[in-house]
Amino acid sequence: MNSFSPEQIVFEDNHLIGINKRAGQLVQGDKTGDASLADEIKAFLKVKYKKPGNVFCGIIHRLDRPTSGIVLFAKTSKALERMNAQFREKKTDKSYIALVHGTVSKEQNLKHDLKKNESKNKSFVVEPGKGKEAKLSFKPIKQFDSYTLIEVNLETGRHHQIRCQLGYIGHPLRGDLKYGAKRSNEDGSISLHAAKLEFNHPITKEKITLEAPIPNTKSWI
């Protein structure tokens, strides 16, 4: 079931609402015509607060459809503008958990130039200077027979960045056929989860930390 549930809310006040997105849920509407989280949240807020008119739900950032984890939405235009600035100026901290093929024995830093192919909806590593710089670091958490559970910290936010860079070095995400996995996950997900998001509240300036545990599914062993 991929429709929005109030149980997915990890944070809410008058300005923001944070959701623990399930794999398969759309953040923003696309050509499929499937219901998006943004639209479902608007409908939910309209009923919850008995709002007679239109409800505002601004999309601050996105996660790929097969990725799970924390997504933050703005409930006011002022919050949206200020949060967009934080993301743009890299004043937020995002931490991901991923299950990748192969053995990862030590912490590593990656730096590549990436270029998006619009028609394929896929990013590729290209020669330096011919794409957008992409930087991340990752470290092992737990080793399994054929996979390693890792923590990933993004320094930049490029299209499919984690998927592309890890696939390029021979550690594709479990279930991510697009970037080198040999088979898909049973539920159609990829084993990538936005586990933690830290930011300053757009109105109070308070430091906010949102966390969500990895899904309890077979995609995570």
Catalytic residue IDs: 64
Token pair belonging to 16:
């923001």
Cα–Cα distance between 61 and 38 in angstroms, integer?
11
In terms of C-beta density within 10 A (0-12 exposed, 13-18 middle, 19 or more buried), how is residue 219 classed? buried
CA atoms within 13 A on the CB side of 126: 13
